[in-house]
Amino acid sequence: MPYREKKIYSGAMLEIERVHCHSCGRVIGRRGRGVPTGKAQEKINLRNAQLRLARLLCENFKRGDYHVALTFGKELEREKQQKMLAKFLRRLRAAFRRATGRELRYVCVREDRGTRPHYHLVCEAFGADVDDLAEMWEGGRLDVGTLDGNPDYGWMARYLTKQEGTDRNKKRWSQSRNLRQPYEPEPKVLKRKALAYPPRAPKGYYVLSHYHQATASGYEWEYMVCIRQDRRQELPFEIMQKLEDEGCWSWMNPSEEVIS
């Protein structure tokens, strides 16, 4: 039975997955539009969306970049909220362009379930302080934090999309068009015996986590996360301890059958 080895490079993070390949050598059609999605597949879809967001964050943002919370001071219609956000983003992009000569990269997520409506914005830093950003925001309160340099932003992706499990058929986040995409080389097709040996971390990387288990169908499944050596010293020890439970790879459940 053939297996597929897939690598995804996202900033300082490299994921290597080896999984049984149902579609190697043949074409499988996609599920038709309008067909209801089962609860198990909805869970998988959310997890995959969170992984995509985590990879975008890892690829595009670094230590010191902004994490901004934009909270509305009074009740407003959704359309009015979106207009105020758009106005803030226009001002922010203009300020970034004046300071750097480039276009701003950002990711924005709305949250309103169980709390006052607000937006989370992750964007590049450019020397603006809290007062500068607060002048651009007319909606209410503005809070600013910075990214900590953790090469795995899986925890942030899960936090930003935590309310989206029941918001079907809606975009989970908005983003600038100039975000860099993670690099994904062409997958390799492997023979079963290749899984007798774990994948090796490329030169310049170290292995942070490695799993070798079986799926519900009895096929072997292997998943490894590597981090670039130059990012090893940026992580405090306590964060290193938590990554095993809170990183992207903790979402990977080999007992789930993924429908592609």
Query: Can you tell me the mean pLDDT for 1-18?
Result: 88
| Residue 7 clears pLDDT 60, i.e. is over it | yes
The tokens describing 239, both together, are 């964060």
* Least confident interval from 9-23, 80-94, 172-186: 9-23
Residue (of 45, 67, 54) closest to 8 by Cα position? 54
- State the pLDDT at residue 219: 79
- What band does 86 get if pLDDT is binned at 50, 70 and 90? very high
Place of tokens 């169908």: 217
Average pLDDT (159-183) is: 76
Identify which has the larger pLDDT, 226 or 218: 226
For residue 29, the model assigns a pLDDT of 47
Q: How far apart are CA 206 and CA 200, in angstroms?
A: 9
pLDDT of residue 28: 42
More confident residue, 41 or 250: 41
How big is the CA angle at 197 (ends 192 and 200), to the nearest 5 degrees? Answer: 120
pLDDT category of residue 27 using cuts at 50, 70 and 90: very low
pLDDT at 25 over 60: no
- pTM for the model stands at 0.79
Q: Does residue 178 carry a pLDDT above 90?
A: yes
Q: Is the pLDDT of residue 2 over 60?
A: yes
- Residue 136: pLDDT band by 50, 70, 90 thresholds? very high
Mean pLDDT over each residue of the chain, to the nearest integer = 80
